Structure 1
């Protein structure tokens, strides 16, 4: 995206006549700005970057449980002791789908005490109504629960989940897909639920799931914990339970409701493609995640990546295109975040959307080295954000604002805008309202100075002196409200 700095002759039209210095007496009451020592500014940026660099979630592959697992059929209850892994799905259509296939009280395949492959599982069950050879792998027609001491090994094969019969994978232990395929099969029978229903995977706190070189396709429907591959802490599990762990590497997720939905989880997701999800590509709450080198494309209803709650996240070098809402959405967030070197485009809403965030020096929100363009809303749109740093981003081609930050009541800040190339915005380049401290320096503006303001909101009344100090004189300044 070619960006040209604002020429000095055009810039001069915006500057206050004779304003050679940024002095307090030229500014409205309750506003002042001062020049920051360059070394002080660099130290501040380096401290932010050091905190962000430390956001490394280390998730290691966990060995599968030793020994050969036992296999049994167990009744599924909705409100008895030990039934909690099934309870969230009682009203979500699972039991009703099962009832259309099983002529008796709903049963699930349960594996315990070791690991088992699909071939071994088929041999142990010896019932084609439950598991049978199909195409290049196996067709599963019963729900399957992996006990906390057990593992299911899916390696070099395909596992098809029959939609009509209410199939789901429920992991309390270890689930590994390696060079494999996991896909729903609708069959030719009419569904037995009153809405669209598709098989899903859920992994409870304490479990481990790894998806390596594999494909997941047409899984999940829009209901709690049933949207695709989900992890969660059950209300029946202790609050201090070990988090679920998830590794996704070099894999593809196609046409899921939400491809990956994480809660109370440590996850490493890298080198993977998430395409044509209905709700979200990756949806994260109260978790620690690394999202590196992924592609998220074509999200039908919501955002490409959503981050919420007590989440620590490093989102780096991802390509996010064609989200219906925002490419990256951060809401009600209370942990450190690094959004770096992502390529964001063609969002039908905002490029990056920020709502109700509490950032501190110890838990910063750092948006750095991203390319954001061609959104139908603003490139970066924030409200109720206490502090944010945007460094060395290239932002443009938006009908709204390159950067818009609005707080209903003034928040402490700072908002740091440093080294960005900002331009081709339909309204104004930067809008700031309700931030008590703003730091500006080293930014390049491409705008239409005769037709629009570059800085509006709280900065409009001091636009001339600010541009004189930062663009013509090359200073870094701090604006205080």
Structure 2
């Protein structure tokens, strides 16, 4: 990206004249109020905002040791609508049972672990049946579904577990699942599948469970069906609403070719220093969860966004590299909870860089986009609609055919929209478009615009673009624009 430069006074004069000419044909928003903030006031505001955002998204990640003692191992029938069958019920119609029927000649059975922990070597020795679990390559091949009971744990230490696709294999965790320096991946084999659509093994961890993936690799898991997209955490309709969240810890690991690498529901998750490659739907998809996503690389998402946040979700998305998403690098939709997006490098999105839809942040749950690099999206760098408040601080944004920042609300929302200390430019349309927000605070930004050919500010700010730019660019002040209509 070419360096940004502060707009010159000659360019500013041209822009003021151009803006005035265009504003003559615009309806001036009723009773606009423009005032300024002192540098001290603004700096205090920024400090408070950053502290509030950081505090609102912070949490202490729950960690849990594996259950003590040796787990018991049994084969139990899988029912779809009986007492105690709820861990299996969501998968009755998604292909799992049909895949199992092609391999097991009797009523579908699962390996069930209860009352302690077990390793793969111990599990293989206990089962003593190669049709269920056998040594394979550098580890073991599992051909039955495996359920970890709420008081049980499965430990993978320095090994590989291959999940046979043809036989309907899946890991269902109600207790404790840990991968340490291990690999988990599907194996298709040479037999045609027995399902009416593509089907691959998956991992689901129900509320109350703990899953950790440390220095490990997950390959070719999941397909595009409910709770089966890869590594999923969820609250079952058969579990009490007050069931403690599923907890997930991922560190220094690699996820490749999953449908959705990590799908979170009713969860608390920390995902750090890991790599996500060639996800089909999303790399990380979080709903009604707490999420700390930092230091990761997300590359190549085939159909949707790199990261999606929804529902009652609080999230810190920090110091990640997100490249090549089919939709947006980060998508936040219909979400109610604090979000801090800080220090990320975002590029080559085939949609928008950051996409925001139907959000109502509050001082207690702010939405802060701080110190990110957003470049080379095919849409706008930041595209927002029906967003009640937003802070864009200290970002470098450019090289997009649309807008650097676009916020459009169908009906006016209170705000504030804060655009401070950013470097904005190299865009195909106007640099900042604002429509339908009553309180806009802007200043300290550096623009790279094309005088006479391009407005820096359009929408509700166009009629007094000249006043705003004179105060913020020429005089270096912070301006608050209050639209009272």
What's the TM-score bracket when you normalise by the shorter of the two chains?
Answer: over 0.9
What are the equivalent positions in structure 2 for 1:37-436 lying under 5 Å apart? 37-54=38-55, 55-436=57-438
CA–CA separation in structure 2 for the residues paired with 1:368 and 1:394: 10
Inter-partner Cα distance in structure 1 for 2:253 and 2:62? 17
CA distance in 1 between partners of 2:291 and 2:273 (Å): 14
Identify the residue that residue 31 of structure 1 maps to in structure 2. Answer: 32
8 Å contact from structure 2 (residues 29, 460) kept in 1: no
SS state at 1:276 partner:
strand
For 1:147 and 1:138, the matched residues in 2 are separated by: 21
Describe the SS at the equivalent of 1:15.
helix
Give the Å deviation of 1:38: 2.1
| Equivalences, count | 474
Matched residue of 2:166: which SS?
coil
**Equivalent residue number for residue 25 of structure 2:** none
TM-score by length of 2: 0.96
The answer for the alignment partner of 1:4 in structure 2 is: 5
Query: SS at 1:35's partner residue?
Result: strand
SS of structure 1 residue aligned to 2:52: helix
Kindly state the Cα deviation for residue 15 of structure 1 after the two structures are TM-superposed.
2.1
Q: How large is the RMSD of aligned CA atoms in angstroms?
A: 1.2
Shift of 1:28: 5.3
Contact 1:349 1:375 (C-alpha < 8 Å) held by counterparts? yes
Q: What is the rounded CA distance, in whole Å, between the counterparts of 1:48 and 1:109 in structure 2? A: 51
Structure 2, unaligned stretches of length 5 or more?
21-27
Instruction: Confirm or deny: 8 A CA contact 1:374 1:397 kept in the other structure.
Output: yes
Once residues 63 and 215 of structure 2 are traced to their aligned partners in structure 1, the CA distance between those partners, rounded to angstroms, is 14
Q: Distance in 2 between matches of 1:93 and 1:142?
A: 14
Higher mean C-alpha deviation, range 260-269 or range 6-15: 6-15
Normalising to structure 1: TM-score of the pair?
Answer: 0.97
Which is further off, 3-12 or 150-159? 3-12
Residue aligned with 1:241, SS: coil
Distance 1:58 1:269 in 2: 13
- 8 Å CA contact retained: 1:57, 1:268: no
Name the residue aligned to 1:22: none
Q: Partners of 2:8 and 2:81 in 1: how far apart?
A: 70
1:127 partner SS:
coil
Q: Is the 8 A contact 1:16 1:465 kept in 2?
A: no
Query: Which sections of structure 1, spanning at least 5 residues, go unmatched?
Result: 20-26
For each residue in 1:27-63, what CA deviation from the matched residue of structure 2 results, as whole angstroms up to 9, or x when unmatched? 7532121111222222221111001221222214311
User: Does 2:477 align with 1:475?
Assistant: yes
Post-superposition, which runs of at least 4 consecutive aligned residues in structure 1 deviate over 4 A? Answer: none
* Distance in 1 separating the partners of 2:94 and 2:41: 56
- Give, in whole Å, the separation in 2 of the partners of 1:168 and 1:288: 25
